[in-house]
Amino acid sequence: MKIMEFMCIILNMIIETIRKHIRTCGKTRYRISQDTGVGEDQLCRIMQGKTCAVETADILFKYFDIELFKKKKHGK
């Protein structure tokens, strides 16, 4: 797999994770925007399946207490 294909897969996983948390957190996009400083327009784009800046993803990951980590392989 080429590095760009891999990066696109990772980015899509990150965006989908953020979308899931926005949908299920019980807060409005307005409230999330006020709490994080991320514009409602940016949150709307994320919910439409579009991408966002790395900085925006980082802010939202911290807000939703999400961590990225590599899974350990079993049996090694």
Q: Give the span between the Cα atoms of 61 and 21, in whole angstroms.
A: 9
pLDDT of 43 above 80:
yes
User: How much is the average pLDDT of 53-58?
Assistant: 93
Q: Spell out the domain ranges in the chain.
A: 23-65
pLDDT for residue 6 is more than 70: yes
Q: Which residue in the block uniquely carries the two structure tokens 């409005």?
A: 28
Would you place residue 20 in the very low, low, confident or very high pLDDT band (cuts 50, 70, 90)? very high
CB atoms within 10 A of CB 29: 17
Q: How far is 49 from 54, CA to CA, in rounded Å?
A: 15
Q: Using CA atoms, how far apart are residues 65 and 32, in angstroms rounded to an integer?
A: 13
Say what percent of the chain tops pLDDT 90. Answer: 68
Distance in angstroms (rounded) separating the CA atoms of residues 42 and 62? 16
Q: What is the pTM of this model?
A: 0.82
